[in-house]
Structure 1
């Protein structure tokens, strides 16, 4: 898979959708152009931008996150997934890393990206990405998460993707936060969305309708993505899923 710009990733995850995740699958349509994607922002997002709080889509997909990375650097992310569901449908607990190897792109603010997604028998094919303004780690994390979730729920992955990107577009809470970088506190943003709450057919989620996605970003971290998490707990407090990815400062 080759991706020329971060706008392509935005088109995949944040193109305009209608209906709920439980609705009949809509007919496939061509991915919108970057201009069309930008025009599709809801009024709430545009209003938020005017108040100084960026939208979730801006922070995760629109911002030129690679501008603060050094050519020929490596960005390493620690990954963890575990689940307490009986019979282990998500598989054994997994701890591994995702490494992005950067090379100069066609412009000073872009990078060509080689991906090493996990190691050994866990290795997954991913990339490369050419001339990226944004950080492909967001789409890599979400796509990997989506594949496992669809398998466990025996659901059409398109249903789930529509709900997640609707949640990021329309139902995300964006708040200021602090991030520790090199022993110092710097400014960042925290994004939280629960896309499956109140869906008309939450029984399809098999108790995971509270699935919560949390993202932390900061312009002071190379690639701007500090961490991402998808988590769900049972009514008795048991852990149904905890999946995390975080920037490794020592390795980066």
Structure 2
């Protein structure tokens, strides 16, 4: 059985280094993922529809610059305290090239990520995956290489792509959802059995700035692929006096009713607003 450890540790070094190097060298985010998730320089398999949607699509093609995209990030857990925080993507353009600066979370949770001088894909995808893998390593002591490999294989071989309707700023738009369960058929599931049903959901739409509307992971019994209306939740939080980056109250930090309750962790990143930075 997996042992969820309570201590916090710094464990993102190798992944961070690979991710930073890849983003500086590769002009397309898909190539960055291959390096960051351990695919090496050769990749003989045909590219799957899920990989095309996530990492071979220019998500920023229709996004005006300069502008700032703001995402709501929230964690709900019965393992440790949950929280709400923000992710900000600042975009500027010079000589036809899109420059991207990602500010992923804040305070002690902040992740230092490299700027991208010629961005095509949305950096929040790799930012979220880096955070996710680092958290799994922290909680389990597992190998980052193992987690990278399982995510990469799931995107290439077993990802499900479906139509998805999203709601952004009071309007409905067509989108697509990519769902994977990287550990479902894992031969090593006995070592990480709490992750067997972990589900990743990526929701994309050409109609929203940045192309990426929501990224979510679910570990527990809340049901795979459940999405959270973070726009509405964030508004309620502001009305209740909960500020971004503050430790959340019982709405997002629930404790197990019984010691025997299985671990439950949900993390969700959702686009909530866009600000035009032109003066």
**Common fold by TM > 0.5:** yes
* Corresponding residue number in structure 2 for 1:51: none
Mapped to 2, the partners of 1:133 and 1:198 lie a distance apart of: 33
State the alpha-carbon separation in 2 of the partners of residues 130 and 200 from structure 1.
Answer: 40
> How many Å apart are 1:239 and its aligned residue?
5.3
Between the aligned partners of 2:39 and 2:195, the Cα distance in structure 1 is 29
Residue 71 of structure 1 is matched in structure 2 by 65
Cα deviation for residue 237 of structure 1 reads 7.6
TM-score scaled by structure 1?
0.77
Which of 183, 186, 198 matches 1:199? Answer: 186
Quick one: distance in 2 between partners of 1:57 and 1:197? 19
After superposition, the C-alpha distances for 1:102-142 in whole angstroms (9 at most, x for unaligned) are 110543xx411112222233322112111101111100000
1:13 aligns with 2:33: yes
Displacement of 1:201 in angstroms is 1.6
* Structure 1 counterpart of 2:55, from 61, 80, 83: 61
Deviations 1:175-234 (A, max 9, x none): 111112342222100111111012112012142211000111000000110000111115
The higher-RCO structure (CA 8 Å, 6+ apart) is 2
Matched residue, 1:129: 116
Q: Does 1:244 align with 2:238?
A: no
TM-superposed CA distance for 1:82, in Å, is 2.7
- Go from structure 1 to structure 2 and tell me whether the alpha carbon gap of 1:145 and 1:221 turns closer, same or farther (over 3 Å shift): same
The corresponding residue for 1:48 is none
* Contact 2:28 2:120 (C-alpha < 8 Å) held by counterparts: no
Q: How many correspondences in the alignment? A: 218
- The structural deviation recorded for 1:7 is 5.0
Q: Could you tell me whether the CA contact under 8 Å between 1:216 and 1:226 is conserved in 2?
A: yes
Q: Are the equivalent residues in 1 in contact too, given 2:165–2:174 (CA < 8 A)? A: yes
Cα-Cα RMSD: 2.6
- Give 5+ residue unaligned stretches, structure 1: 18-27, 46-54
Q: Whole-Å Cα distance in 1 between the matches of residues 91 and 113 of structure 2? A: 14
CA distance in 2, matches of 1:6, 1:220: 26
1:13 offset after TM fit, Å? 2.8
**More displaced stretch, 231-240 vs 92-101:** 231-240
Q: Say yes or no: does 1:41 pair with 2:35.
A: no
* 3-state DSSP of counterpart to 1:129: coil
1:98 to 84, 87, 90: 87
Answering whether residue 212 of structure 2 is matched by residue 231 of structure 1, we say no
Cα gap change, 1:141 to 1:63, in 2 (>3 Å): same
Contact 2:28–2:121, Cα closer than 8 Å, also in 1: no
1:37-186 superposed matches below 5 A: 40-41=45-46, 45=48, 55-85=49-79, 88=80, 92-107=81-96, 110-186=97-173
